[in-house]
Chain A
Amino acid sequence: MAEVRLESIGKVYPNGFRAVSDLSLTISDGELLVLVGPSGCGKSTAMRMIAGLEEITDGTLKIGDKVVNNLRPKERDVAMVFQNYALYPHMSVRENIGFALKVAKVPKTEIAERVSRAASVLELEKLLDSRPANLSGGQRQRVAMGRAIIRNPSIFLLDEPLSNLDAKLRVKMRAEISRIQAELGVTTLYVTHDQVEAMTLGDRVAVIRDGLLQQVDTPQVLYDTPANLFVAGFIGSPPMNLWQAGVTIGETTASVRIGEQSVELEAETVARVPDLAEFSGREVVIGIRPEDLAIGGVDNQEWPALSATVGLVEPLGSEILVHFDPGAPLAATGDPDMEDLSAEGDVLAELAVAKFGPRESFAISEKIELRMDPARLHFFDAEGGNAI
């Protein structure tokens, strides 16, 4: 068990590409920290530097109190689950799981004992004599897990371990990983591009973009107070609605202009976000999550109103998603996946979305009046995207 401390870690590949910049992060003893970000943002690179598979260009990496920058993987006492599992094809499941112990010259009887214990945790007993080639994806994933947990390492590193599984198995294994990690209490770094996985698994979540750390905090804090536009757009599904808006703050009144509409802000909102005053007369990005929008009614008469046209209705049983257009385009957040969707002409990527109870009903092209929960409005600097 150990604390892992990254101090201004950077990575420049031999071809000159800078994959990670100035990454400072502490994974506390026994914590499960999730590193999340779009693919290609440098997550695997960061993890591989911790594992010792990739040289660290700048900064200091400490495990416990020891600087390990120049230690080889075997001297760092880390266990890793690879995205592609990387099982040894020429060994049986039993040999795969026990391999690290064999290398460490653990006595045969003890290896056998520990292998069978790991196999029972992962329900692999019946497969111990099979070769990896004869296993299903889910079984291979569990063998890869087994190879990691058998060692009692100081650190677990998991690189998108569930991304090759189908949705149902993914949910099951997610719970399983969470349980095993809590049980063993091993310091864990978990890498994923899936923010739902990040939110459900992480004690804390670190969001990274283009090799730069955006924000590290508990899932709830990330969700409630994203530090910038990117985090706001990346965390949460469906994502936060974000629009370019002009702010005007007078003596007694305050308003934002979203498209052609002027939306009045309450005094409390202005008081809650004092720095907003500095942006009077300028552009900001205003954000609100789908569930913080409501249908106009008696109990929310005071809330800022927004009229919109319904573009698409998705009844999900437990709730209804209403995709709408308030007459203003969504602001870009820098999430490459969302940009890909827009580029492909996906209509949903162009529309804002609200989440309502299942008993409401809507028609396409209907004009509706939405109310925005003023306590849940987010404001971001249009330049740079930092939260105001």
Chain B
Amino acid sequence: MTRDTFEERLFGAVKWMSVAFFLVITVFPLLYMVTLSFKPIEEVLKDPTDIFPSWNQFKSFRPYRDILRSESDGGRGFMKFIVNSGIVALITVTITVVLSTFAAYAAARLNFFGKRAVSAGILLVYMFPAVVIAIPLFVIFSRIGLRDSLLGLIIVYVAQTVPVALYMLRSYFQTIPRSLEEAGLIDGLSQFGVIRKITLPLSAPAVASVALYVFMIAWNEFLFALLFLLDKPDLWTLPLAVQQLDTTEVPRTMLMAGSVIITIPVIILFFLAERFFSEGLTSGGVKG
């Protein structure tokens, strides 16, 4: 075996081993979660070799039906929490993406006084850990009556995600050649038209990943949801609701079903958006 083929095989093996490693650490927990949402953990513990639920267990869909049914029907009211989480996440994504797109464009392109300070400040904001500001925010929001509301939560999530969204988008806008926008101006667009017809279509991959990032934060966030909404079960978001299932009175299958319900949308969104990320949109426009 020559050195080249040896290295080739070695790297080949390492590559497949790392793929396998990541598959194991990501897919296994997922698989377990799904399994345990159908099959009671006691059964699994009794016979660990048989982790798959029986067809009947699977078909009944019991834990899911129990968890989704409203409380008046003896369920756990998860339909409501899904709606709450959906509202919070979608509104947060919309506000953050719109706000940070315009702010990032301004920071990347337009000249204004104190531009550098603003750019530095963006990241500085993000460096404060959420816990540090959680208590002061709790107090302030209690005072102004925003505590027991989804609106309060949305405000916090927007404030939390805008800095990073802004930073990501600004970096992306800076990679779009200015002459493309100037060509748009010459072709008769207004400044706003240039952003809409040229900059944004070219930034679709960046905007999509920012939207996904913001969605994941708003969809999964737990700390502020707990602080703000604990007294208002009607307003609970999914992470909070799932956490409330973690007691001995609730069957484990239900807890796992709740976890699956949280996870699925993120995975679906990821696969939908993946197509966007892999498309290189800006290539070929300019030369030299």
Contact = CB atoms under 8 A, between A and B. Distances in A.
Contacts of B287: 84-85, 137, 140, 164
B186 A132 contact: no
A80 B186 contact: yes
A79 B186 CA distance: 6
Contact of B186 (A73, A131, A133): A73
Contact of A82 (B182, B190, B281): B182
B233 interface: no
B265 interface: no
B187 A147 contact: yes
A163 B287 CA distance: 10
B286 A85 contact: yes
B264 to A, nearest CB: 32
A73 B177 CA distance: 18
A103 B193 contact: yes
Nearest to B180: A86
B188 interface: yes
Given A14-B111, A90-B202, A84 B186 contact: no
Given A14-B111, A82-B179, A87 B285 contact: yes
A89 interface: yes
Given A14-B111, A82-B179, A103-B193, A87 B187 contact: no
Contact of A74 (B190, B198, B282): B190
Interface in A40-97: 51-53, 72-74, 78-80, 82-90
A131 B284 CA distance: 8
A147 B182 CA distance: 13
Contacts of B282: 89
B188 A103 contact: yes
B185 A84 contact: no
A221 interface: no
A104 interface: yes
Contacts of B193: 103
B202 A89 contact: yes
Contacts of B288: 83-84, 163-164
Nearest to A153: B186
Contacts of B286: 82, 84-87
Contacts of A78: 186
B179 A88 contact: no
A103 B186 CA distance: 11
Contacts of A72: 185, 190
Contact of B183 (A52, A80, A135): A80
B7 to A, nearest CB: 34
B188 A88 contact: no
Contacts of A86: 177, 179-180, 182-183, 285-286
A72 B183 CA distance: 13
B189 A103 contact: yes
A89 B285 contact: yes
A74 B189 contact: yes
Interface string B169-206: 00000000101101111111110010001100110000
Among A51, A83, A86, A140, residue most surrounded by chain B Cβ atoms (within 10 Å): A86
Contacts of A137: 287
Contacts of A51: 182, 186
Contacts of B111: 14
B180 A88 contact: yes
A80 B182 CA distance: 10
Nearest to B285: A89
A99 interface: yes
Interface string B265-288: 000000000000000011111111
A318 interface: no
Among B182, B190, B198, residue most surrounded by chain A Cβ atoms (within 10 Å): B182
Contacts of A82: 179, 182-183, 286
Nearest to A163: B288
A84 B179 contact: yes
Contact of B187 (A85, A89, A99): A99
Among B183, B190, B282, B286, residue most surrounded by chain A Cβ atoms (within 10 Å): B183
A43 to B, nearest CB: 15
A361 interface: no
B285 A88 contact: yes
Contacts of B184: 88
Among B177, B180, B285, B288, residue most surrounded by chain A Cβ atoms (within 10 Å): B285
A134 interface: yes
A100 interface: yes
B21 to A, nearest CB: 36
Contact of B285 (A85, A99, A163): A85
A339 to B, nearest CB: 24
B177 to A, nearest CB: 7
A134 B283 CA distance: 10
A164 B179 CA distance: 16
Contacts of A89: 180, 202, 281-285
Given A88-B198, A89-B202, A103 B285 contact: no
B243 to A, nearest CB: 44
Nearest to B179: A86
B111 to A, nearest CB: 7
B172 to A, nearest CB: 14
Contacts of A99: 187
A52 B188 contact: no
Nearest to B183: A86
Interface in B19-75: none
A14 B112 CA distance: 12
Nearest to A144: B183
B201 A133 contact: no
B179 A103 contact: no
Please provide the 7 A-B residue pairs with the shortest distance between their CB atoms, ordered closest to farther: A133-B284, A89-B285, A84-B286, A86-B179, A100-B187, A132-B284, A86-B183
Interface of A: 14, 51-53, 72-74, 78-80, 82-90, 99-100, 103-104, 131-135, 137, 140, 147, 163-164
Given A80-B186, A82-B286, 14 more contacts: A72-B185, A73-B182, A74-B187, A74-B188, A78-B186, A84-B177, A86-B285, A87-B285, A103-B187, A103-B188, A104-B188, A133-B285, A135-B284, A140-B284
